[in-house]
Amino acid sequence: MPPEREDGGRDVPTSVARIAVSIGLAVLLVLSMTGVAGTAAAIDQVAILSPEQRTVEAAPGETIEIDVVLRSQGGHGGEGVSGVALVAQYHPDYVEITDVERGPWLEGDGTEIRTTERIAPERGTAVLDQRREPAAGGTTGAGTIATLSVRVADDAPAGATTISFDGTDVDLTGDWPIAVVDESVTVAIDGGDEPLETFAHPDPDGLDLEAEGGGSEKDSSDADGRAADSGDDLPVPGFTIGATLVAVVLAVLRLTAARDGPPR
């Protein structure tokens, strides 16, 4: 039972959102006390990836379309997003991504969009890599980054299966890294809501990407590819674990607010 206050009332349990805000403020306080220059500014370096709908309903044998939305204000000094490697993973026994079409989000400033993709049904993985050429100032804002065509297996049982995007990489026009916060989409098959079995996905970096739209073929192990942008080799000044934590906390709050709307 919650403890009584001096005025005779009872404490209300702290909400998850307030806990998250407290953590973020605490980290910011520590950063300001330690005098880490430029670190707090890294909180704008967040990309939020989420489906247009968190749950979609479908029947066995049906094909549905799922829009994936990206929200990002870029990074320091006006850096925008220069490329997105969208990784969608699913259980191949229940659903299959048959097509991935790029959205208009990266377009603008007269730049071309190079698109390469690979769909590996047996691995339950689809990869769509989009790059601005030239990168110019990059892109910021919110919009559709991709549309997935998803077919439910003819013999899929009733239940809920997910399509996740947690392997997605987002690159900026500069050298700073960016935190990616993602949200999965749940496919409710035949009205079911019980979670179905999960699938052990192989590393998506092992997939070769096939060029489309006149682009050149890209090997995922290329020196200019995503592995070179991981930031594991050299430290990035001003971007610390504390700032990353703040960025992720605030991004989750933004996503929650966007989903649930203002409190009543």
Which residue ranges form the domains of the chain, and what is each CATH number? 47-234 (2.60.40.680)
pTM summary value: 0.67
Task: Report whether pLDDT(233) > 70.
Answer: no
**What tens digit of pLDDT does each residue of 9-19 get?**
444 444 444 55
pLDDT in the model for residue 250: 56
* Type of residue numbered 138: G
Task: Report whether pLDDT(57) > 60.
Answer: yes
**What tens digit of pLDDT does each residue of 134-162 get?**
999 999 999 999 999 999 999 999 999 99
Compute the distance between CA of residue 216 and CA of residue 184 in angstroms, rounded to an integer.
30
pLDDT in the model for residue 211: 42
Mean pLDDT value across residues 103-128: 94
pLDDT in the model for residue 204: 80
**Other CB atoms within 10 Å distance of the CB of residue 214:** 8
**What tens digit of pLDDT does each residue of 63-86 get?**
999 999 999 999 888 899 999 999
**What tens digit of pLDDT does each residue of 164-215 get?**
999 999 999 998 889 999 999 999 999 999 999 999 998 887 666 554 433 3
For CA atoms 23, 25, 26, 31, the dihedral sign is positive
